[in-house]
Amino acid sequence: MIAHEVIIVGGGPAGSAAAKELKQANRDVIILDKKSFPRVKLCAGWVTPKVFKLLKVEPDDYPYGLLKFNKLYYDFGKFTLPIPTKQYSIRRFEFDNWLHELSGVEIIQHKVEQIEEKDGYYLIDGKYKSKYLIGGGGTNCPVYNILFKGVSPRPVENKIVAMEEEFEYDWKDPRCLLWFGDLKFKGYSWYVPKANGYLNVGIGATYLGLKSLGINIREAWENFTKKLEKEGLVKSHNFEGKGYTYFLRNKISNPRKGNAFIVGDALGLATLDMGEGISPAIESGILAARAIVNNSNFNVNKIGKYSFTSILFRK
Ligand SMILES: Cc1cc2nc3c(=O)[nH]c(=O)nc-3n(C[C@H](O)[C@H](O)[C@H](O)COP(=O)(O)OP(=O)(O)OC[C@H]3O[C@@H](n4cnc5c(N)ncnc54)[C@H](O)[C@@H]3O)c2cc1C
């Protein structure tokens, strides 16, 4: 049995941020992730300055591709509103690997399937053992599914379905564009240029909102990619979108059970207006780690529920 004081399941932003904090406090911690890093993660990769603030890193010190946007273009169908702001785009393939390296914590490639609680310890797949367990495995996190599903439900009203694609593209329009009218304000679609000749395009909506419009996400994606072609934003590209589901912020009752914690998408923390999940994932990971280090409560209520304030006030 391989024993550590803390085992983190999932090396995304939530898991790596928790790992970084624990390592800084000299705690014995490892990460288990089913994928080998660097790995692809479906995400527009639009980040707020708060992400860097939480990690105590200056954006200028980020070693990979970073684009800065001084405006976001909100398209409401009849008119487009340029909103002055300070936001960035990153590629998750690079960002998550960087954040993991920043943590200085070992990551072991292992897909977690079984978790048992025995004599005050968590036993994982009969191979790993820990006193504390942090579930940062995203929407399908096994820590959530096995230990929390019954006590901390994620309501279907908060479910988001999304399709997107990130690809090498010599984009000509450097604006970050967001369309709200196409999905009748049940969601939005995006065009996010990235540094070094990459582009991310995608569409996301609440599951129930899309259902009420009588279309599925694949149809919405196809309409959207046709629009990109028609408007000349993407030319001669064979689109191959992929889908993913995650949850917006809900009334969180039990993010901790004994010495087990859930963080990030496992808990359902993405902002209610924009579905921004990277910053809440990082913040929740840090808070879970501090609860372990300080032997204190794990309270996620102070994590912001909306992106709009940070967009407008350039936080
Ligand atoms: C299409 C799309 C676009 C988005 N765009 C944005 C955006 O622009 N900005 C923003 O802020 N947010 C965005 N989000 C949300 C954001 O991607 C998530 O909120 C964020 O990634 C959550 O981080 P996390 O660490 O909780 O989980 P994840 O990033 O999902 O990481 C979970 C990790 O757990 C691992 N794992 C899963 N199961 C197991 C297992 N059984 N055993 C071991 N390891 C496991 C996975 O391999 C993964 O590495 C978007 C989401 C989608 C789907």
How far apart are alpha carbons 315 and 26 in whole angstroms? 31
Instruction: Tell me the best of 8, 21, 34, 47 to mutate to test the pocket of ligand 1, counting ligand atoms within 8 Å of each CB and taking the most.
Output: 34
The pLDDT > 70 percentage for the chain reads: 98
Closest approach atom of ligand 1 to CA 13: 25
Ligand 1 in contact with 241 (CB < 6 A)? Answer: no
Q: Is the distance from the beta carbon of residue 14 to the nearest atom of ligand 1 less than 6 Å? A: yes
102 assigned to some structural domain? yes
> Per the domain annotation, does 204 fall within a domain?
no
pTM: 0.97
128 found inside a domain: yes
Using CA atoms, how far residue 62 sits from 53, 65, 282, in Å, is 12, 8, 16
Res. 313 pLDDT band, cuts 50 70 90: low
Angle separating helix axes 13-24 and 92-103, nearest 10 degrees = 20
> Which residues are CB-neighbours of 166 under 8 A, at least 6 positions away?
45, 91, 194, 198, 199, 200
How far away, in angstroms, is 92 Cα from ligand 1 center?
A: 9
- The range of the structural domain enclosing residue 9 comes to 2-49+91-155+248-305
- Contact 124/142 with Cβ under 8 angstroms? no
pLDDT at 315 over 60: no
Q: Is residue 203 part of a domain?
A: no
Mutate to test the pocket of ligand 1, among 16, 30, 33, 148 (most ligand atoms within 8 A of CB): 33
CA–centroid distance, 11 to ligand 1, in Å, is: 9
Number of domains in the chain: 1
276, pLDDT greater than 60: yes
Decide if 207 contacts 177 (C-beta within 8 A): no
Decide if 227 is inside a domain: no
Query: So what's the pLDDT on residue 213?
Result: 93
Q: What is the pLDDT of residues 98-128, one digit of tens each?
A: 999 999 999 999 999 999 999 999 999 999 9
Whether residue 230 lies inside any domain: the answer is no
Q: Kindly give the distance from the C-alpha atom of residue 231 to the centroid of ligand 1, in angstroms, as a whole number.
A: 30
Q: Is residue 127 in a domain?
A: yes
Provide the H-helix boundaries in 154-237. 207-213, 217-230
Which H or E element spans position 262? strand 260-262
Q: Identify whether 38 is preceded by a cis peptide bond (ω within 30 of 0).
A: yes
Question: CA separation (Å) from 135 to 18, 29, 31?
Answer: 10, 13, 10
User: Is 95 domain-assigned?
Assistant: yes
| Span 157-186, pLDDT tens digits | 999 999 999 999 999 999 999 999 888 889
Among protein residues, the one with the nearest Cα to ligand 1's atom 16 is 277
**46: Cβ below 6 Å to ligand 1?**
yes
Q: Domain containing 44 — which CATH number?
A: 3.50.50.60
